[in-house]
A and B are shown apart, each in its own frame.
Chain A
Amino acid sequence: MSALPIHRRTLTGLAKGLKRREFSSVEVTRSYLGRIAASQPDLNAFITVTGEAALAAAAVADARLASGQAGPLTGVPLAHKDIFCTEGVLTTCGSKMLANFVSPYDATLVARLRDAGTVMLGKVNMDEFAMGSSNETSHFGPVRNPWNTAMVPGGSSGGSAAAVAARIAPAATATDTGGSIRQPAALCGVTGIKPTYGRVSRYGMIAFASSLDQGGLITLSAEDAALLLGAIAGFDPRDSTSVDTPVPDYTATLGDSLEGLRIGLVRQFFDKGLDARCEAQIRAALAVYEKLGARLVEVDCPNLPLSVPTYYVVAPAECSSNLARFDGVRFGHRCADPKNLIDLYRRSRGEGFGAEVKRRIMTGTYVLSAGYYDAYYLKAQRVRQLISRDFAQAFTQADVLVGPTSPVPAFPLGSKTADPITMYLNDIYTIGANLAGLPGMSIPCGFVEGLPVGLQIVGPHFSEARMLNAAHRYQTETDWHLQLPAAYA
């Protein structure tokens, strides 16, 4: 019997161990709860830890495991990004606005994972309302990168990525509006998957930008991601944008050959903004793919450089409307002693939202307002169409696109907070997939000065199985994904 400690195992490994009764779900859960508590002062990855409920759920799972009624995920613990509504549990979205908000219902993703028998450890930290690329906008304080606590973990799913990287949770749910799964996964050296828009229900996921938001996962491996994605993907009648397409068994095709796979290298992904040391790691990863039988083809997406400005019109526009419901009337922060209705609105919102959220609400309000709608909002939606067409064209030449996830590795806390545009440009390689609704992944592919580098894989709509296959084959050839920070070994 392997002596591998619980936290060194992947989620797949834990599931197998639970099945074989090597350890109980209660033991596993207790182990992670202990690690969470120990890490909290350094990492600040969790906003809420639901220890008692987790142990109770683990006990139930153990009973199912004992009675032979367990499913593939029964008894496996994980953490939820605090953007997902969880019934009876604080759901803050990283904001003062919702600091006391106890959701009366479960998000579809949460309910599905609960029904699959997983055990929720708690709710992980995030940028406020998922607006940020460094996890520094959270009302509950920044999350730190387990590889170097002076560095940011990326964002907005910084808590999810840091938790998985530090093995204080074997997996975490996350969301991606412009790179919020892939970029922190890259910066923390873990595996992140943003599925195709419409693949995972958005019901119960607090909206930032509805046409871009997509729920997904941060895990240790593509294999883990495949296992979990099968549980959360699928049609939801409560989400009009959810797509009614069958969910394949993503684990079944993980080992497929990559012989003849056409890997597209988007010229615009290898521009002058890419850190040369990161590029070297990416090129090395591409060599691994060639060894696995893939062919590299260069493709062109001429409109892609406009993806960041396009995103910073579309996302704030939608956010300005989505966040109008936080008005201090039915839930959320309410200012003290409002003088009148306008005062109630203005102070509740002014006090409840942080600086970046207010900036984006105002940007969105501006681009939608009379006289600017055509010049900004409509124009951006047209450019979005051009960017989508670029991708569609690229996929006539390539099966998947591979390149960097982030132009740079993790950066020091506070180093980019002064200028929002510098921060926004962190997502230059990831935003395109959101604009076009494409699935994307980030997998670890090396280190630069002790900090992880992420390799991004983007596929056509609903090509998650192929992407996971490509990621898994890379991970069978390399062990970057199994590296863990010394402090959390």
Chain B
Amino acid sequence: MSLSRSDIDKIAYLARLELTEAEIPAYVDSLSRIIDFVGELESAQTAGIEPMAHPLPGLAQRLRADEVLETDRHEHYQRNAPQVEGGLYLVPKVIE
């Protein structure tokens, strides 16, 4: 199976990645090959086999006590933020 340029455009959009014109043909090629490669899985006999989401079987989610253990550290955390104002993270205007 081969992916087309428009497939790559769609995937890149869904993944919010801008690709340069130079990058696109290389991704069309390599993603097509990867998808072909993982297509080998089709041959496996998996009828009645449960999908395995976790590597250790039989474990259950542990529950945390409902306690507030945090203090306000937003200024510290926002040192890594590209753009903040009045404690808010800023992004270009969102239109709904």
Taking Cβ atoms with an 8 Å cutoff, the residues of A that contact B are 100-102, 104, 196-198, 211-212, 237, 240-241, 243-244, 303, 306, 308-310, 312-313, 320, 324, 327-332, 334, 338-347, 349-351, 353, 355, 358-359, 361-363, 365-367, 369, 375-376, 378-386, 388, 419-421, 424, 434-437, 461
Interfacial chain A residues near B53, Cβ < 8 Å:
211, 381
Instruction: State the 4 A-B residue pairs at the shortest beta-carbon distance, nearest first.
Output: A437-B55, A350-B18, A381-B51, A331-B80
- State in angstroms the CA–CA spacing of A100 and B31 once bound together: 30
| Contact indicator B17/A353 (Cβ below 8 Å) | yes
| Contact indicator A329/B11 (Cβ below 8 Å) | no
- State in angstroms the CA–CA spacing of A388 and B53 once bound together: 12
Interfacial chain B residues near A309, Cβ < 8 Å:
37-41
Taking Cβ atoms with an 8 Å cutoff, the residues of B that contact A are 3, 7-8, 11-20, 23, 26-27, 30-31, 33-35, 37-42, 44, 46, 49-57, 59, 61-62, 64, 73, 76-83, 89, 91-94
| Contact indicator A362/B31 (Cβ below 8 Å) | yes
User: B91 touches which one: A102, A104, A197, A344 (CB < 8 A)?
Assistant: A344
| Contact indicator B15/A361 (Cβ below 8 Å) | yes
Interfacial chain B residues near A350, Cβ < 8 Å:
17-20
- B42 to chain A minimum Cβ distance, whole angstroms, is 7
User: B23 touches which one: A100, A347, A355 (CB < 8 A)?
Assistant: A355
Interfacial chain B residues near A367, Cβ < 8 Å:
38
| Contact indicator A329/B38 (Cβ below 8 Å) | no
| Contact indicator A369/B14 (Cβ below 8 Å) | yes
Interfacial chain B residues near A324, Cβ < 8 Å:
16
Whether A365 contacts B55 in the complex (CB less than 8 A), given A310-B41, A329-B91, A341-B91, comes out as no
Whether A359 contacts B30 in the complex (CB less than 8 A), given A306-B40, A366-B11, A421-B37, comes out as yes
Interfacial chain B residues near A320, Cβ < 8 Å:
15
Whether A420 contacts B44 in the complex (CB less than 8 A), given A350-B17, A358-B19, comes out as no
- State in angstroms the CA–CA spacing of A376 and B3 once bound together: 15
Whether A340 contacts B93 in the complex (CB less than 8 A), given A378-B51, A382-B50, comes out as yes
- State in angstroms the CA–CA spacing of A195 and B57 once bound together: 16
- A418 to chain B minimum Cβ distance, whole angstroms, is 9
Whether A313 contacts B41 in the complex (CB less than 8 A), given A104-B79, A386-B46, comes out as yes
Whether A376 contacts B41 in the complex (CB less than 8 A), given A102-B79, A385-B52, comes out as yes
| Contact indicator B33/A421 (Cβ below 8 Å) | yes
Interfacial chain A residues near B44, Cβ < 8 Å:
303, 306, 379, 382-383, 386
| Contact indicator A361/B59 (Cβ below 8 Å) | no
- A178 to chain B minimum Cβ distance, whole angstroms, is 13
| Contact indicator A340/B92 (Cβ below 8 Å) | yes
| Contact indicator B16/A436 (Cβ below 8 Å) | no
Interfacial chain B residues near A100, Cβ < 8 Å:
80
Interfacial chain A residues near B34, Cβ < 8 Å:
312, 359, 363, 420-421
Residue with the greatest number of chain A CB neighbours at <10 A, chosen from B17, B76, B78, B79: B17
Interfacial chain B residues near A381, Cβ < 8 Å:
51-53
Q: List 26 A-B contacts (CB under 8 A).
A: A102-B80, A104-B77, A104-B79, A196-B56, A240-B61, A308-B37, A309-B40, A328-B82, A329-B81, A330-B77, A330-B81, A331-B81, A340-B92, A341-B93, A346-B13, A346-B16, A365-B14, A366-B7, A380-B38, A384-B52, A385-B49, A386-B49, A388-B55, A419-B30, A421-B34, A424-B37
| Contact indicator B18/A382 (Cβ below 8 Å) | no
| Contact indicator A436/B55 (Cβ below 8 Å) | yes
- State in angstroms the CA–CA spacing of A158 and B62 once bound together: 35
- State in angstroms the CA–CA spacing of A385 and B17 once bound together: 32
- State in angstroms the CA–CA spacing of A100 and B44 once bound together: 45
Interfacial chain B residues near A355, Cβ < 8 Å:
23, 26
| Contact indicator A334/B46 (Cβ below 8 Å) | no
| Contact indicator A341/B92 (Cβ below 8 Å) | yes
| Contact indicator A241/B54 (Cβ below 8 Å) | yes
| Contact indicator B91/A362 (Cβ below 8 Å) | no
| Contact indicator A330/B89 (Cβ below 8 Å) | yes
- State in angstroms the CA–CA spacing of A353 and B27 once bound together: 14
| Contact indicator B11/A365 (Cβ below 8 Å) | yes
| Contact indicator A382/B51 (Cβ below 8 Å) | yes
A334 closest partner in B (C-beta): B82
- State in angstroms the CA–CA spacing of A365 and B83 once bound together: 28
Interfacial chain B residues near A102, Cβ < 8 Å:
79-80
Whether A346 contacts B18 in the complex (CB less than 8 A), given A312-B34, A359-B27, comes out as yes
Whether A437 contacts B11 in the complex (CB less than 8 A), given A359-B30, A420-B33, comes out as no
| Contact indicator A366/B31 (Cβ below 8 Å) | yes
- State in angstroms the CA–CA spacing of A437 and B30 once bound together: 29
- State in angstroms the CA–CA spacing of A414 and B18 once bound together: 25
18 new A-B contacts, CB < 8 A, other than A312-B34, A381-B52, are A102-B79, A102-B80, A198-B55, A198-B56, A306-B40, A313-B38, A330-B89, A340-B92, A341-B91, A346-B16, A349-B18, A358-B17, A362-B12, A384-B51, A384-B52, A421-B33, A434-B55, A435-B55
| Contact indicator A376/B16 (Cβ below 8 Å) | no
| Contact indicator A312/B51 (Cβ below 8 Å) | no
User: A346 touches which one: B17, B46, B54, B56 (CB < 8 A)?
Assistant: B17
A421 closest partner in B (C-beta): B37
A238 closest partner in B (C-beta): B64
User: A362 touches which one: B17, B20, B82 (CB < 8 A)?
Assistant: B17
Whether A306 contacts B80 in the complex (CB less than 8 A), given A339-B92, A359-B27, comes out as no
A363 closest partner in B (C-beta): B34
